Chains A and B, each alone.
Chain A
Amino acid sequence: MEELGKTILKLIPVIGDQLADISVLVFVIGAAPPLIFILLYALVTLYTEMKVSAHIQDRVAYMYTGYHGILQPVADILKLIQKEDTVPDSADKTLFRLAPYLVFIGTYAGFAVIPFSSAYMGSNINLGVFYLIAASSIVVIGLLMSGWASNNKWSLLGAMRSAAQLVSYEVPTALAVLVAVMITGSLNLNEVSKFQDGGIQNWILFGGPMPITQKLLLLPFTFITFLILFLAGMAEVNRTPFDLPEAESELVQGFNTEYSGMKFAIFYLAEYANMFLVSAVATSLFLGGWSSPFGSFMSGPVWGVFWFVMKGMFFVFVQIWMRWTLPRLRVDQLMYTSWKVMTPFLFVCIFAVGLILVL
């Protein structure tokens, strides 16, 4: 992050060199690319979600703002900015105002260790994915705060649900991450991606770049682990079928019932960013991250960004697809899925993968 900030500043003639010594500025500039990416990506995903859901439901969605309504997300955001930012009288005003930002910060912090290409990664720390799991837990506090501060019983129920859900699903997520980490021997997502470089056959989803017998033995376990990681990730994002915290038909809107205007938009921005984050982690760990699926063909730092975003967006699409197809689980079924299905399966996977790697 620091190097990138310095490089960008040095591109500015005359004063750039002097500014490059001011470390705060360097970090701000270095941290900007993920934020810019999130904002642009949110617009694209907003549009994609509307269009995909519309076509699933036999509708056409918006068609008038620009060609096939392409400008509608911009118009939506403008509308939300213009809206009055109400805070309920009986709400805890400080917490109420703080909560959406905390939720967003939790998600945004996770982007720091996501390798968009072999050349760019916000912060090259060797804790990598471990840091990501820890940082994204801040989201729980934000959601609990929003639910509590709203002073609304439905919001409180939603917040409690989300806290229970996020904490439970962190266990399978962490265990699933562990499987990939065991195979690669590194927590750094960039290292994990590099490990899988060299084509689709080297992806950990298909057993990683191992000798063929070991690969075939690993394959079923890595495949199951990937599925569980993706589903657990979906649960952390609060998307259908795991959208209980904001279950519209049960809890009105859950924790964000009382939010409007830009605060509401920030909740949604965080949700969309989180969707990509989950896909990005799954991609980096199991699908080669920025590496090209065709070996050295179309590979390199710039193509890396392309492949990474494409793979990520594919899983974002899958999430949208599932959201508009499936009904919602019940609270106890959700907990059951986490503790009695995913976690035991992952223990088996971890054990088996460890055994295969040692042999």
Chain B
Amino acid sequence: MIESRVLPTDYVTEPGRFRTSTGKTLKTDEMIINMGPQHPSTHGVLRLEIVVDGEIVVDVIPHIGYLHRCFEKHAEHMTNYQQVIPYADRMDYLASMNNDWGYALAVEKLLKLEVPPRVEYIRVIMAELQRIASHLIALGTFGIDMGAFTPFLWCFRDRERILDLFEMTCGARLLYNYIWVGGVSHDLPARFVEKAKDFCKYFKPNIVELNNLLTYNEIFIKRTANVGVLPKDVAINYACSGPMLRGSGVNWDLRRDDPYSMYNKFEWDVQVGKGEMGQVGDVWDRYIVKVREMEQSVRIIEQALAAIPEGNVQQAIPKRIRPDHGEVYVRTESPRGELGFYIVSDGSTSPSRVKARSPAFVNLSVVPEIAHGCMIADLVAIVGSTDIVLGEVDR
């Protein structure tokens, strides 16, 4: 397998510092190492087959599928459209609300269904809270990848508050099954709005604290700036999305550019990487985009909480949904990027075909491209910055 592949040779000459005094490049034997599936920093069960020359990564081949649970096939075999939602929960288990919402939106589009305004507000609040929770994990685990353990636990402390809010709403802390086709499973409990406002107030200073501890740490900047640079054109060619794409300086956010639900009614900004510490599209840019998106999410949540109307939380729909013949593709902005659901209906009570376009899978595919010639420690940084969730990569 290795012989058939042309190994890049420029990695020895490129950094310049790996030459001997006589100008010859230091050429040693390459070693093939398995990084994963059981490895602390592959964020689950990703397996990276890496060819290393000492500390330098010559080639990376990601192997996926260790967490494949046949989501798409399961979805076709349900007896009801609603029954797919718990499975969608389990795709990206760090952002279940966003998955549910994406699927529910797709089915609602098939049904040409309008949901009550209160539902829209609840969904926006939940999705943005979920985005913060997901980004917190991404940033915390990225800190661990960089060797800083403390930010991880600080992030988990804040995420705990969000999970408490979810728990009081729907009883679950990880896999919610909350956003249903036509509405949400329960109305918001009493005092939810108040507690969510408290959370926003509590959370804003904590972002500053995280920045002081990790983001602007000199060592952290040295480790992340100019590392794993993903140029704009490569990002677009590989169909990257989410913070990965915005980190490369592409101003593209589905919440603004292909608005769904209520997003165009709120005031918020799309964050892009500006290359403040190094080049545009480096690991630090992808990191800072996530930090700033959390601030924007807080803004959205505050506006939504202030404006949330009273009303019904479940549109009257038949118990067994039978959409007309047809197909639909709906894309939403999940914390990881463009999460799309393509659903084909044959007029029966279950979908004929469901295809999920998972952003983590697409973002992962660009890793071998940008990891050439980096060091093992950089590879860890790059994988960490793509913020993959293997549940979604493998589905």
Contacts and interface: CB of A to CB of B under 8 A. Distances in A.
A247 B147 contact: yes
Contacts of A326: 147-148, 217, 219
B149 interface: yes
B148 A330 contact: no
B213 interface: yes
Given A325-B213, A327-B148, A332 B153 contact: no
B154 A57 contact: yes
A163 to B, nearest CB: 13
Contacts of B92: none
B40 interface: yes
A238 to B, nearest CB: 12
B153 A241 contact: no
Interface string A32-56: 0000000000000000000001001
A154, A248, A250, A325 pick with most chain B CB within 10 angstroms:
A250
A116 B218 CA distance: 37
Contacts of A175: none
Given A327-B223, A330-B377, A333-B222, A241 B33 contact: no
A249 interface: yes
Nearest to B17: A332
A53 B217 CA distance: 19
Q: How large is the interface on B (under 10, 10 to 19, 20 to 34, 35 or more residues)?
A: 20 to 34
B214 interface: yes
Q: How large is the interface on A (under 10, 10 to 19, 20 to 34, 35 or more residues)?
A: 20 to 34
A327 B220 contact: yes
Interface in A307-337: 324-333
Given A327-B146, A328-B219, A57 B153 contact: yes
Nearest to A335: B17
B39 interface: yes
Interface string A227-253: 000000000000011011001111110
Given A248-B40, A249-B144, A327-B214, A58 B219 contact: no
A58 B145 CA distance: 20
Given A250-B377, A252-B39, A328-B147, A58 B217 contact: no
B270 interface: no
Contact of B33 (A59, A153, A240, A248): A153
A153 B51 CA distance: 12
Interface string B134-161: 0000000001111111100110010000
Contacts of B220: 327
B33 A154 contact: yes
A57 B146 contact: no
Contacts of B376: 157, 250-251
Contacts of B214: 327
A57 B41 CA distance: 20
Given A249-B380, A329-B223, A324 B150 contact: yes
A339 to B, nearest CB: 12
B222 A329 contact: yes
Contacts of B375: 330-332
B247 to A, nearest CB: 19
A249 B157 contact: no
Contacts of B146: 249, 327-328
Given A248-B144, A328-B223, A333-B222, 7 more contacts: A53-B150, A57-B150, A57-B153, A250-B41, A325-B148, A327-B143, A331-B375
Interface of A: 53, 56-59, 153-154, 157, 160-161, 240-241, 243-244, 247-252, 324-333
Interface of B: 17, 31, 33, 39-41, 52, 54-55, 143-150, 153-154, 157, 213-214, 217, 219-220, 222-223, 375-378, 380
24 contacts: A53-B149, A153-B31, A153-B33, A157-B55, A241-B147, A241-B219, A249-B41, A249-B145, A250-B41, A250-B380, A325-B213, A326-B219, A327-B143, A327-B214, A327-B220, A327-B223, A328-B147, A330-B222, A330-B223, A330-B375, A330-B377, A330-B378, A331-B377, A332-B375
The 5 closest A-B pairs by CB, nearest first: A328-B147, A249-B41, A57-B153, A327-B148, A327-B146
